[in-house]
Amino acid sequence: MQKWIMSGLFFAACTLAIVLIFFLPGKEQVAQENKTQMPEVTLNAEQAEAIVKANCISCHGDQLEGGNGPSLQTIGAVMSPEELYKVIHRGKGQMMPSFKGQLEDEEIANVALWLAEKK
Ligand code: HEC
């Protein structure tokens, strides 16, 4: 009788361990979430232009020709959408502000796609 109880407990413990292994987020998954991941969006040029007009041209020029910030007229030849997304999301150096929280991630991704076409 006692053997049954012991093996029952053992079985329950194993089940619990397996459940924990599968359902607790692994380290890898946590690291993935901390990384800046560009959400998938389809380009909406009108929205992108409006966002850039409202947020970027004060530094990058209304033709993106540059000003306080560098020219972005041919930025697509240098940077991929993912790289653009990271710069806009996190900011760069002392002068380029981070737009995280100020713009939706999807809006940033859309602007990144739009800028990536500027070659
Ligand atoms: C307050 C001024 C300012 C605003 C507003 C601003 N930027 Fe910038 N941006 C800069 C400066 C300055 C740099 C150069 C940073 C450096 O290289 O250290 C820069 C760099 C960049 C770069 C990288 C260019 C390269 O050659 O490495 C991208 C892309 C960019 N900005 C996009 C944007 C977008 C898109 C917006 C609007 C959502 C925006 N910026 C708004 C000042 C600004």
pLDDT in tens, 11-53: 888 677 776 667 766 665 555 555 678 999 999 999 999 999 9
pLDDT at 67 over 80: yes
Q: Which of 20-24, 55-59, 62-66, 104-108 has the lowest mean pLDDT?
A: 20-24
59 lines ligand 1 (CB under 6 A): yes
Burial-class residue 84 by CB neighbours within 10 Å (0-12, 13-18, 19+): buried
With a pLDDT cut of 70, the percent of the chain lying above it is 86
Spell out the alpha helix ranges (H) of 24-119.
27-34, 45-55, 57-60, 81-90, 105-116
The mean predicted confidence, pLDDT, of the chain is 89
Is the CB of residue 91 below 6 angstroms from any atom belonging to ligand 1?
A: no
* Whether the Cβ atoms of residue 86 and residue 36 lie closer than 8 Å to each other: yes
Q: Is the CB of 111 under 6 A from ligand 1?
A: yes
Distance 66 CA to ligand 1 centre (A): 9
| Second-level CATH architecture of 45-116 | Orthogonal Bundle (1.10)
Whether 91 has a pLDDT exceeding 90, the answer reads yes
Question: Ligand 1: does its nearest atom lie under 6 Å from the Cβ of 93?
Answer: yes
Q: Which residues contact 28 (CB under 8 A, 6 or more apart)?
A: none
Distance from Cα 32 to the centre of ligand 1, integer Å? 26
> Residue 55 CA: which ligand 1 atom is closest?
37
> How many residues are given for the chain?
119
